Structure 1
């Protein structure tokens, strides 16, 4: 392995249908938030974390397909952290916190904000085959569910509203803009 920390997989293959249905035009990831594209905000936080990362934007049919492709394309990763590209407020420190929670008996780590589950969800390298077998729209939920049932998931309470602030609609974009002004 080339790194001891997990690789952040930034998912940017979605069609953004809810965003367009809400009145948005074009890609939600290119929508402007404080004068900068949503995806640019997300990538800036990922880069600031110092973790290795990969942008998965090849237009796969579902989130599971995107995750599987990214895992296949990062064969030397120590693990993976799944981060949708539409989470522009997630903090670099939160990314590091989730990454550092992986190891030993902990095969996955998921952050919570005030009781609400969020992203990124981290997976240890032992989950490589299960992640590469994913397909469809469920993402990594089946892998996380199995690990949770086995007691191998660390739940991490964080003070980071960014883990649950995804941009799916114009209304969500406006909420993120308001939050950004207060952070």
Structure 2
């Protein structure tokens, strides 16, 4: 049984980017989404990618054997997407799930491993860098039922606040846990 499995959220519209940022090319020629998934695969034995119902994984640069979960309600917000992802993973045996974002390819594999090492079924683990909470957030299995009930665009913020006593921040010196891609110029920054 894997201790932690990854759920890569990639069903959003990314409207601030101006086009489908998932297919935007990194300086090395990979799509942004493919680069994010490949980083996760360096640490997690299972990486599941949440996509919109109409998405073609190969057009997004993903391998043919990529494990995909579909979300028909993605336009209703991140809460709906996260709930759909948890529903899609309901039969998986794991102690925790790492909720990752498809536009964050710069989180180091070492940081991901450090977060996984602290995961337990009864704990919420997340990185802190420069005093700010980053991604991914790892939810112990005890919190999966609550994730199933998320709606809207708030994601799991309220869940983190409600369970502050079992939140376990890990201080990391990795700006990749804070760095996402909202605009095209972010792809060029080193």
- The answer to whether the 8 Å contact 1:51/1:96 transfers is no
CA change 1:51–1:157 in 2 (3 A) is: farther
SS of aligned partner of 2:12: coil
User: Pick from 80, 87, 95: which aligns with 2:104?
Assistant: 87
* Structure whose residues are more often helix by fraction: 1
RMSD: 1.5
- The answer to whether the 8 Å contact 2:5/2:44 transfers is no
SS of aligned partner of 2:163: helix
SS of aligned partner of 1:68: helix
TM-score norm. by structure 2 comes to: 0.82
Shift of 1:160: 1.4
User: How many equivalent residue pairs?
Assistant: 166
Which structure 1 residue ranges, 4+ long, deviate > 6 Å from structure 2? Answer: none
Q: Distance in 2 between matches of 1:122 and 1:86?
A: 17
TM-score norm. by structure 1 comes to: 0.85
CA change 1:81–1:50 in 2 (3 A) is: closer
Shift of 1:174: 2.4
Which 5+ residue runs of structure 1 have no aligned equivalent? 21-25
User: Pick from 8, 11, 14: which aligns with 1:13?
Assistant: 11
Aligned residue for 1:163?
Answer: 177
